[in-house]
Chain A
Amino acid sequence: MSVVVLLIGLCAGIMVGLLGIGGGILIVPALVYLLHMDQHAAQGTSLFVLLPPIGLGALLEYRKKGDVDFRAGILCALGMLIGGYLGGRIAVPMSSDHLKQLFGAFLMFSALLLWSKASKKTVSTEPAVSTEGGS
């Protein structure tokens, strides 16, 4: 059981570095289906895991190539603190099955959006939609 948990952590960690995400999208389904945790408990545990700076090692790797915008990241972190509280307040009273379906639908929707973008040729220098291009 402990070994399974450690392995889930390692797999999620590879996603952290490879995809630049927290790994929660792997941790939550893995806890639900491999460890038979309730959806809410899996989500709460996943959020707890993300509190320490687990992505620090990965971040330093990205920085070596200059692929980091610190200002944007810090501003987002500020917004996330507030947003996280709101999201938690919405999720806690919801039923586990509704939460699961919503989570699944959200992931598939984001995936399709990204896929459609990746299938066209990616031009990294195209102008920003919101304001002026460049950073």
Chain B
Amino acid sequence: MKIVFISFAIMAFYGFAVADKLTGRWESKPSDKGNVTGVLFREDNSFEGYVNKKPFVFGTYSFTPEDSVLTFTDNGCNGLRGIYKILFFSNSDSIRFVAVNDSCAERKQGMERLIIGRVKKK
């Protein structure tokens, strides 16, 4: 019984830690024009995207840690859903997006160019 309980506790902790991998603020390095793009993934599954601290895209997302797939809808693209695989690198402190299915061409173009790094809390 103890072993089962401990196993469940470990699995729950692992699940939480992996799901939490995405939560937080992520930002790009400045572009050649000095623009910084960022995304804030909240624990309540809402997110906000911004450029140069100007928020402009908002929506809800789900993230499956087993296959690192992000699914979301936002206030642009007429409610079309985007599905992307997230690739974590540099000790999971950087991510990029690979489109699995997104028929919103402009959004897809922007997402596939984006490489963002975790903004560590001060």
Do A and B pair up? The answer is no
